[in-house]
Structures are given as structure tokens and as C-alpha cells.
């Protein structure tokens, strides 16, 4: 089965959360903000730096470039050879920090092994850190400072929950995964006060004992594990909401590319018992790019206010 969306009717799903539709909604809002900036003679600009030739990273960068163009934003795609030195990369980021055409800077992860990713993150001006990885933005998120740039994937997940009408206030949420990109900021967003927050949050990870017992407690499960179909029916209680962040390539000789994308949740095994669930692809993925565009426009609005 290629696309879970096609088979939705076969399941007793109350709601399939359509990431493409919600991303389109976010993009409409972003487009209106871009037009307002353009009326002032300003075009928001995003620089995406790709080092090396990782095919998945190349695909992500192409996608970001395309979305920027479609929204009428300025996109600067900078492709560097894998031999690029740390010094050369930091020098480039420093120049982008003061480039008036650029309001958001993103260095595609993962860089080659000889690059110190943390040093790169520290070099990006926090005001242009649209990925939300700089310690200033991480701290602002923890402090519930509304000027924080929040990492795009968890921000997109929260927006999906709100758009789908899922109440997070007082809900038991289990986030599986504790990365700085997804798991930790997701937990911070969900425990923050206000809309899309106020949840009782547990973070699980590879050392969690009896993961299924922990996730079965959850009204909402957020899976950010990076292992195909790691969560099955035994992990999900009846009527739970499942947000599947995972994007895993698995071999599939029936497709043109020889692979297909699956999530961290076994959709076929879980969907029929869920109140709502995101598909992969077509769930969280489109939201990540939509939130990146929104963050870049926010950066532009602030830098040009």
C-alpha cells in the first residue's frame, strides 16, 4: 500500500489529519503577510545552505527552494562541496548574518562529519535562526517568550492539533523521542500555557522501560523516533490521537524510486483504533516547510520593523 490517504475509508477512522490542507492554510496566511511586506518594497529572503550530496537533503532543499519561489519569496540556495571546511562555512554564515536580502538562514542537517554543527548553530544570528536551534531561541521557548523562533516540525505538529480541533489542555501526551529538533521542543510547546498547550507531557526515548505501557496512557501520542513502524497497535489506546513525525525510506521494488516513505507508526495496525491520525506522507511533512516559510516571514517582519 503506497498512500494511506487512499485507504482511509477502509478504516473506522474518525479523522485523518490532512497535513497538506493545513499547510495550504498556513501558506495562505504567509502569502498575505508577504504581500504586505512587498507593499513596503521588502521581499523576505531565505538562505538554505547544503553541504555535500546527501540525496534526502538535496530533495528537502529543492522543496524549500520551490516553496519559497511559489510564495514569491527570495530564495538563495547555496550548494557547497563536501570538502568545504568549517572555517569556510562559518565565514559564509557570518556574511549571511549581515546580508540585508536574507532574513532567514538554514544550514541543512546533517552536514558532513568534519563539520561541527553546534558551532554553526551558534554562529547564526538568533534573529535569522528560522530553524529555532540557537540557544537563545531554545531558552526563549522554554521561557514561553513569544519572540522565540520555534523549530518548524514541532510547531507544525501543534498547528495540526489545533486545526484538527484536538484539545491539548489537560490531555495526557506522550512524545516518543527527545531530539532537539523534534522531541524536546514538542514537549515544551505542549506544556506551555495557552492554546495548543497546557498538556501533561511525558517524554519517552530508547531507554524508556515498557514503552507500550507508557504510550498506552496517552490521549495524544507524538512519534519522533526515526524507526519505521516502531509503534504498533499495542502502543496506542483506543480513541487516541496519533501524530506521526517519522519519515523513513524503506525498500520497495514496486516503486519507480525503489523505496517508499513510511512513518514511525504502523498506520495499518493503528488507524482503526485512533480518534485521529496523520498519514505519512501527507501529514507532518508539508507542515514543516509551511512553518519554515512562516518563520522566515516573521524574521523579515521583525528585522524590517
The residues carrying an active-site annotation are 64, 108, 131
Q: Which of residues 40, 193, 207, 209 is near ligand NDP by CB under 6 A?
A: 207
Q: Which of residues 7, 58, 97, 179 is near ligand NDP by CB under 6 A?
A: 179
Distance CA 273, CA 240 (A): 7
Does 181 engage in binding with ligand NDP (CB under 6 A)?
yes
Taken as a whole, the chain contains a residue count of: 305
Residue with smaller CB distance to ligand NDP, 45 or 154: 154
Q: Which of residues 246, 271, 277, 292 is near ligand NDP by CB under 6 A?
A: 246
Q: Which of residues 132, 177, 196, 279 is near ligand NDP by CB under 6 A?
A: 177
**Of residues 116-155, those binding ligand NDP (CB under 6 A):** 153
Helix (H, G, I), strand (E, B) or coil at 259: strand
Q: What 8-state DSSP symbol labels residue 76? A: E
Does 245 engage in binding with ligand NDP (CB under 6 A)?
yes
* Residues with Cβ within 8 Å of residue 73, at least 6 apart in sequence: 34, 43, 44, 45, 46, 293, 296, 297
**Of residues 259-298, those binding ligand NDP (CB under 6 A):** 264, 284-285, 288
Residue with smaller CB distance to ligand NDP, 153 or 298: 153
Does 215 engage in binding with ligand NDP (CB under 6 A)?
no
Does 111 engage in binding with ligand NDP (CB under 6 A)?
no
Distance CA 240, CA 232 (A): 13
CA-to-CA separations, 82 to 45, 88, 105, 115, in angstroms, rounded: 25, 12, 19, 10
Does 243 engage in binding with ligand NDP (CB under 6 A)?
no
Question: 23 and 290 in contact (C-beta within 8 Å)?
Answer: yes
Q: What 8-state DSSP symbol labels residue 139? A: H
User: Which cell is 11 given?
Assistant: 478504516
The site for ligand NDP (CB under 6 A) is made up of 153, 176-179, 181-183, 204-208, 211, 224-227, 230, 245-248, 264, 284-285, 288
Amino acid at each position: 500500500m503506497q498512500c494511506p490517504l487512499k485507504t482511509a475509508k477502509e478504516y473506522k477512522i474518525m479523522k485523518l489529519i490532512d497535513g497538506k490542507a493545513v499547510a495550504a492554510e498556513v501558506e495562505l496566511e504567509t502569502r498575505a503577510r508577504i504581500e504586505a511586506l512587498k507593499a513596503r518594497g521588502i521581499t523576505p529572503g531565505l538562505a538554505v545552505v547544503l553541504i555535500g550530496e546527501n540525496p534526502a537533503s538535496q530533495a528537502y532543499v529543492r522543496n524549500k527552494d520551490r516553496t519559497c519561489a511559489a510564495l514569491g519569496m527570495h530564495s538563495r540556495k547555496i550548494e557547497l562541496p563536501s570538502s568545504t571546511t568549517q572555517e569556510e562555512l562559518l565565514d559564509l554564515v557570518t556574511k549571511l548574518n549581515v546580508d540585508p536580502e536574507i532574513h532567514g538562514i538554514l544550514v541543512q542537517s546533517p552536514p558532513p562529519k568534519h563539520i561541527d554543527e553546534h558551532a554553526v548553530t551558534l554562529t547564526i544570528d538568533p534573529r535569522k535562526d528560522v530553524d529555532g536551534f540557537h540557544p537563545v531561541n531554545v531558552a526563549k521557548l522554554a521561557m514561553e517568550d513569544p519572540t522565540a523562533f520555534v523549530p518548524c516540525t514541532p510547531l507544525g505538529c501543534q498547528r495540526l492539533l489545533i486545526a484538527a480541533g484536538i484539545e491539548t489542555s489537560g490531555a495526557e501526551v506522550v512524545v516518543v523521542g527527545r531530539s532537539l529538533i523534534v522531541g524536546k521542543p514538542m514537549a515544551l510547546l505542549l506544556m506551555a500555557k495557552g492554546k495548543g498547550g497546557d498538556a501533561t507531557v511525558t517524554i519517552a526515548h530508547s531507554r524508556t522501560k515498557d514503552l507500550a505501557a507508557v504510550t498506552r496512557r496517552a490521549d495524544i501520542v507524538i512519534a519522533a523516533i526515526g524507526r519505521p513502524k516502531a509503534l504498533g497497535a499495542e502502543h496506542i489506546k483506543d480513541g487516541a490521537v496519533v501524530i506521526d513525525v517519522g519519515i523513513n525510506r524503506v525498500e520497495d521494488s514496486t516503486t519507480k524510486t525503489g523505496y517508499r516513505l513510511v512513518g514511525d507508526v504502523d498506520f495499518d495496525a493503528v488507524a482503526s483504533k485512533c480518534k485521529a491520525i496523520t498519514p505519512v506522507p501527507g501529514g507532518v511533512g508539508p507542515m514543516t516547510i509551511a512553518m519554515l516559510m512562516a518563520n522566515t516571514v516573521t524574521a523579515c517582519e521583525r528585522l524590517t520593523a
